[in-house]
Amino acid sequence: MFANRDELRSYVAENYPEVTDSRIDDSHWDLLCSFCKVTRGFQLIKREIAGETTNYGHFDQDYDAPKTYLFRCPVCHAFKQWIVYEWQIKDDAGKWRSCYFRVTSVPSEGLEEIVELPENPSSLRTAYRQAIRAMDANANIAAAAMFRRALQVITRDLLGATPGNLANELHAVVGKPFNGGVVTTNFANIGYIIKEVGNQGAHPDKDTDLLEFTAEDANDLQQIFMEVVSELFIIPAAKEKAKQDFMARRKVVP
């Protein structure tokens, strides 16, 4: 609960990402389309007040209430929803500026589903999905821990490493055959980064430079995790599809 509006505004500003820079104008926002895999100007096709009240006497609208935004991709027409606080806030110079804070998005802003990820074990997709949702909620430390968890599922459940120290497990699986190829040293090196950063998220660090874990840190960690996904799942799937398409086109019967 909040004692007053100032507490509400302070809480939102401290805990949810400001998305003001994504706003182009009253009708367009620069957003990532998960289907087109491109960041482009989405159309703002609907904007509604999320909450109304009659409990404030002569006020019939709570202007501090968040609003529901509905965006649509102008190319593929996919859509997404955001819950947004939009406020006028006075900056350090005493000037008022429009600020927008995203509480959540449906679906999450990150690529929440990767079709190439195996469905079994289900714990892999669960860990990855929760990492993306944590990033969407600005819970970046939690996201780091979930990316590490996803890596551990891959190493133990898919690559067959003997449970123990994750750093040792990463090196133990190098050279193992998997998905039409072999696990490379690159996997172990990238995995080590994810492990270390995930540990920083799970355990408080005495180094003051490492106490904070920003949205930029989480985004970079996601990109690093995607290198693992690409090497083990996406590239092999693309190669297999290309081979099958070629054989079908040339009527080669296996």
Average pLDDT score over residue span 38-63: 68
What is the chain's mean pLDDT, rounded?
87
Position 149 scores a pLDDT of 96
d(C-alpha 210, C-alpha 232), whole Å: 30
d(C-alpha 1, C-alpha 4), whole Å: 9
Query: ∠219-220-225 over CA atoms, to 5°?
Result: 95
Residue 54 pLDDT exceeds 50: no
Tens digits of residue pLDDT in 114-133: 888 899 999 999 999 999 98
Dihedral angle sign, alpha carbons of residues 179, 163, 171, 226: positive
Residue 26 pLDDT exceeds 80: yes
Q: How confident is the model at residue 210 (pLDDT cuts 50, 70, 90)?
A: confident
Average pLDDT score over residue span 208-223: 85
Can you give the pTM of this predicted structure? 0.74
Tens digits of residue pLDDT in 66-101: 889 999 999 999 898 999 999 888 888 888 989 999
d(C-alpha 32, C-alpha 106), whole Å: 13
Average pLDDT score over residue span 232-243: 90
C-beta separation of 60 from 54 below 8 A: yes
C-beta separation of 120 from 33 below 8 A: no
